[in-house]
């Protein structure tokens, strides 16, 4: 029997790369080097959704019958889990200590108290990862918040780098061995621009999807000079389209994606059938956003949320909002009627509530299980 594995649309580009395979994690809290693919042997697709009024108030009273979801244009039968907010939570706090992150550490001194609200009253385990040019697990998963507080308060400024994607890949590896009954989430505290990662966005998000991890990001702005310099360093190994095809680029052109290239890509995608075009546009948007705001991109592509903060007060406000949203999402799911491998475009809407706004993931990728894989 063919078994399908759910990975995000961004992994389309990752599949074009000659990435070496790595072995699964050997220990719960000491991940091996590199990123392993965690197989999700299920055709169940989960679509967390947040519904708000025009004024931003959350809506709690909807049922599965109030939603319409299409997968590549085909309407699906939805199921709504009644009490998803009561499930245990494994939360990994990922903090940038390198680069400009070292100057933000004082803003995190009250973070343990903020985490209490985010965790709510459900059983939980919390870990802490600090990163500069390299990630480090400074606190293994524990239910004891006093240990988390000590770890956060003992963080020190690191080297000049801020390898955010490397840190996320590392964090996902740590989370991947948590019990399956636990919801998995990452709280990322970093600047907006990645400095020095070797992990691509495709690799990081593929791992995130395979472990059903949602990323919530609170970010402070990188300096304009940093943003400009780092954007120039991004190559495009993950750009969709074969070499020499409609996405072919001048070898002498800027490796970043300028506006005229985005317009060119959109024009190329017009030749595709609508569902495939829609999903590939989502991929392009992710690649385009990477060079401009890494935490925002990974949050949106994993179904999480992104906020900017300037000081302790704004950070507290952001985390309070996330705390309110985490247990109040509608956990919708469906079994694809035709689970074909490849890119899928999702569209979630409300049947009879035109004044409400629904936010949810917009695409995913299904890949057949490799029968020769151990």
Q: Which residue is it, tokens 């939603």? A: 67
Q: Per-residue pLDDT tens for 39-96?
A: 443 578 888 899 999 999 999 899 999 999 998 889 999 999 876 667 899 999 999 9
Band (291; pLDDT cuts 50, 70, 90): low
Domains of the chain: 85-241+292-328 (3.40.50.410)
Q: Where are the beta strands (DSSP E) in the chain?
A: 4-7, 45-52, 67-71, 74-75, 79-81, 89-96, 124-131, 135-142, 183-191, 213-220, 305-308, 330-334, 342-350, 357-360, 363-368
pTM: 0.72
Band (371; pLDDT cuts 50, 70, 90): very low
Q: What is the mean pLDDT of the chain?
A: 75
Give whole-number Cα distances, 125 to 1, 111, 184, 195, in Å. Answer: 36, 16, 10, 29
Q: Per-residue pLDDT tens for 313-328?
A: 999 999 999 998 888 8
Residue 218: what pLDDT? 96
Among the ranges given (97-101, 254-258, 276-280, 333-337), the one the predictor scored with the smallest mean pLDDT: 254-258
**CA–CA gap between residue 132 and residue 367 (Å, rounded):** 33
Long-range contact set of residues 62-67: C-beta below 8 Å, sequence gap at least 24: 62/330, 62/350, 62/353, 64/332, 65/351, 66/350, 66/351, 66/352, 66/353, 67/330, 67/332, 67/348, 67/349, 67/350, 67/351, 67/358
188, 217 contact by CB (below 8 A): yes
Closest to 253 (Cα-Cα) out of 235, 230, 226, 228: 235
- At residue 373, φ and ψ (nearest 5 deg) are -85, 135
Average pLDDT over residues 231-237: 43
Query: Is the per-residue pLDDT at 254 higher than 90?
Result: no
Tokens of 347: 């569209």
Residue 246: count of CB within 10 angstroms of its CB: 14
Burial class of 59 by CB neighbour count within 10 A (0 to 12, 13 to 18, 19+): middle
Q: Per-residue pLDDT tens for 165-176?
A: 999 999 999 998
Residue 36: what pLDDT? 39
Residue 151: what pLDDT? 96
């Amino acid at each position: 029997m063919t078994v399908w594995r759910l990975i995000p649309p961004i992994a389309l580009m990752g599949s074009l790369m000659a990435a070496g395979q790595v072995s699964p994690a050997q220990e719960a809290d000491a991940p091996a080097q590199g990123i392993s693919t965690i197989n999700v042997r299920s055709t169940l697709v989960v679509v967390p959704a947040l519904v708000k009024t025009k004024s931003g108030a959350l809506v709690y009273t909807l049922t599965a019958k109030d939603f319409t979801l299409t997968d590549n244009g085909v309407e699906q039968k939805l199921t709504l889990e009644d009490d998803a907010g009561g499930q245990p939570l494994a939360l990994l706090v990922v903090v940038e200590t390198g680069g400009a992150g070292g100057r933000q550490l004082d803003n995190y001194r009250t973070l343990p108290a903020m985490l209490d609200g985010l965790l709510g009253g459900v059983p939980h385990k919390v870990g802490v990862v600090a990163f500069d040019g390299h990630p480090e697990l400074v606190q293994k998963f524990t239910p004891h918040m006093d240990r988390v507080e000590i770890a956060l308060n003992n963080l020190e400024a690191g080297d000049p780098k801020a390898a955010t994607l490397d840190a996320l890949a590392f964090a996902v590896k740590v989370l991947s061995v948590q019990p399956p009954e636990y919801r998995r989430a990452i709280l990322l505290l970093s600047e907006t621009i990645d400095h020095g990662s070797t992990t691509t966005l495709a690799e990081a998000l593929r791992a995130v999807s395979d472990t059903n991890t949602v990323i919530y990001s609170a970010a402070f702005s990188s300096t304009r000079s940093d943003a400009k310099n780092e954007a120039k360093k991004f190559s495009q190994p993950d750009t969709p389209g074969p070499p020499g095809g409609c996405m072919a680029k001048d070898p002498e052109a800027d490796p970043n994606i300028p506006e005229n290239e985005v317009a060119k890509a959109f024009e190329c995608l017009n030749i595709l059938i609508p569902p495939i075009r829609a999903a590939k546009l989502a991929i392009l948007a992710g690649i385009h956003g990477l060079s401009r705001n890494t935490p925002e991109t990974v949050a949106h592509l994993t179904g999480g949320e992104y906020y900017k903060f300037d000081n302790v007060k704004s950070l507290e406000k952001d985390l309070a909002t996330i705390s309110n949203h985490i247990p109040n999402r509608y956990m919708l799911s469906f079994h694809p009627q035709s689970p074909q491998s490849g890119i899928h475009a999702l569209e979630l809407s409300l049947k009879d509530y035109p004044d409400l706004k629904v936010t949810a993931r917009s695409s995913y990728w299904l890949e057949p299980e490799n029968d020769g894989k151990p």
